[in-house]
Amino acid sequence: MTTTLQDFAATYSQAWADRDPDAIVAMHTADTVFHQHGYAEPATGREAVRAAIAEGFAQVPDLAFTMRRAHLGAEHFVSEYVISGTLAGAHFESEGIDVFTLTGGLIARKDTYIDWLSVQRQLGADLAAAAGLA
């Protein structure tokens, strides 16, 4: 049975909605890269990516994504969404875009772009300092 890219993207999105780091990284290559641009250094390899994802779920237990649009290509897809959640008692909501590069039917690279300045303003916090980047 062959999975279409649309089905793959939907299954991946559901794994995030289920907050299941193991199901998420199972859809990544062994040498995958997850880069949250403007927030954290890239995580490389399944274990590091799983740890970054699990940390995000721990920090924001109600993390949610509302899909706006998806753009599918031959070996890539792009998702546009609204990310929301509560961090340290403060609610946030921001626009985000993920760019996925696939190799052999798995995610080799995920580049995440979120309006971190908007999130920072809503939370009244310096996210770069909190992540150890400042």
DSSP string of 10-53? HHHHHHHHTT-HHHHHTTEEEEEEEEEETTSPPEESHHHHHHHH
pTM: 0.87
Q: Is the pLDDT of residue 35 over 60?
A: yes
Give the pLDDT mean for 78-106.
Answer: 95
37 vs 31: CA distance, rounded Å: 18
pLDDT tier at 8, thresholds 50, 70, 90: very high
Amino acid at residue number 115? D
Q: What's the pLDDT tens digit per position in 49-59?
A: 999 999 999 99
**Which domains does the chain carry?**
5-123 (3.10.450.50)
Q: What is the pLDDT of residues 74-89, one digit of tens each?
A: 899 999 999 999 988 8
Q: How far is CA 91 from CA 16, 21, 53, 116, in A?
A: 19, 23, 19, 14
